[in-house]
Amino acid sequence: MKPIIFHIDVNSAYLSWTSLEKLKNGSDIDLRTIPAIIGGDEKSRHGIVLAKSIPAKKYGIQTAEPVASALRKCPGLVVEKPDHTMYRRYSRAMMELLSGYTPDLEQVSIDECYLDFTPIAHLYPSPEEAAARIRDHIFETFGFTVNVGISNVKVLAKMASDFEKPGKVHTLYPEEIPLKMWPLPVSDLFMVGRRSAERLKTYGIRTIGDLAHTDLSFLTAHFKSHGRLMWEFANGIDPSPVVSNRQEAKGVGNSITLSTDVTTAEAAKKVLLSLAESVAARLRKAGQLAGTVAVELKYADFTKASHQAPTLSPCNDTDAIYRLSCSLFDQVWNGEPIRLLGIRSSRLTAEGEPVQLSIFDLPLASMPPDPDAARTDFSGTHPAKKEGEPARSPSPEKLKKLDAAMDAIRKKYGKNAIHKGELTDFSDR
């Protein structure tokens, strides 16, 4: 049996949840029925539209545009500040309801998740009817609407849930791609941001179908690994499984919303280094090793992306987490400005437990003595590197000792007492 995957997405989550909460507290106005937005203050980087009502959309108001701009378009616009504590409460309640259908559920953001329907398909007449029941159950229980996208792969389920809203169920099976997805503008494809879409248009690639039929070598030459990802998604290729939150429940992570958008890989990797230090230190403090590392991004237009991979062997050292995070970042970043970066570790094991080693953890065979090994550099303290010889990386044991020393210094003098040299010009630590 082919897999059946649902993507469940709350319609205008922040605005819907805010409206419901206000109605519970005696308000006689449903924000969803009037021109209204959720927006915050400029200092916290939320001086932009986070969510909008359907009536507000008719004024041309867009998610992620400045609140001031939205008010110019609609002077009578109602603006409500976000309440993230309340949003998390609604999110948890919805996920608990969905876990009653199946534990094979992967939450990817506060208002969306994937559900592996395959193991429970035999309990329902059809996936479409099951999705409609779930949609109705959520509305009857909480009072907000969701869209449900159905497919055999995650990216197509995600695309289907973005079709007509609100409160709809849509399918996008591989055989439906030419009719339902290929005619759409290339900017509608998941993981194609504004800049990527503009560049694609300069090459005559205007629809998702155009992208799907573009030579892969051309895309990788111009967009590198992101070109392959776009091509695969345009053709409905996505081998990633639904990763049950049961496996992700124990984890350590950290993220940062940046004061200004990051636009270069170099700047992003400085942020990742700071985050890797934080995550690794927390793992060491808890006596845990990470078996999987994930990098999460939120772009300036509030679209999200993430990518994860297993570590070579369970670890909690900064260098290993940082290097894997950089590799994941290179694979997932689409070149768009980034407003949030995060690193999350999971599949944790206790430091004392036996672990599966990779071949890279095995000690190197002993080498014959180097007659020049006694040479020193100008300081007289370190072996001098021969001309043309590549720089040697510190051994894993030395890196662990370095991390331990830095942990001790921070414990005694504060978390900002010491940091790696690469972070000397990184202010958002």
Active site residues: 112
* Closest among 14, 61, 12 to 35, alpha carbons compared: 61
* Closest among 162, 223, 229 to 195, alpha carbons compared: 223
Terminal-residue alpha carbon distance, the chain: 48
> Is 111 marked as a binding-site residue?
yes
The SS3 assignment for 220 reads: helix
Cβ neighbour number for residue 166 with a 10 Å cutoff: 16
* Closest among 244, 279, 365, 359 to 313, alpha carbons compared: 359
Render the burial of 62-83: b for 16+ CB within 10 Å, e for the rest. Answer: ebebebeebeeebeebeebebe
Parallel, antiparallel or unpaired: strands 146-151 and 169-171 = parallel
Whole-angstrom CA distances from 286 to 47, 234, 277, 290, 294 are 37, 42, 14, 11, 19
Q: Give me the DSSP letters along 27-49.
A: ----GGGSSEEEE--GGGT--BE
**Where does residue 182 fall: left (phi above 0), alpha (psi -120 to 50 degrees), or beta otherwise?**
alpha
- Contact at 8 Å (CB) between 13 and 51? yes
Report d(CA 2, CA 153) in Å as an integer: 10
Report d(CA 169, CA 163) in Å as an integer: 9
Q: Prior bond to 166 cis, omega within 30?
A: yes
* Closest among 110, 419, 64, 109 to 271, alpha carbons compared: 419
Query: What single letter denotes the amino acid at residue 358?
Result: S
> Is 370 marked as a binding-site residue?
no
For 224-238, the three-class secondary structure string (H helix, E strand, C coil) is: CHHHHHHHHHHCCCC
Helices (H), 60-120: 67-73, 84-99
**Known binding site for Mg(2+): residues?**
9, 111
**Known binding site: residues?**
9, 111
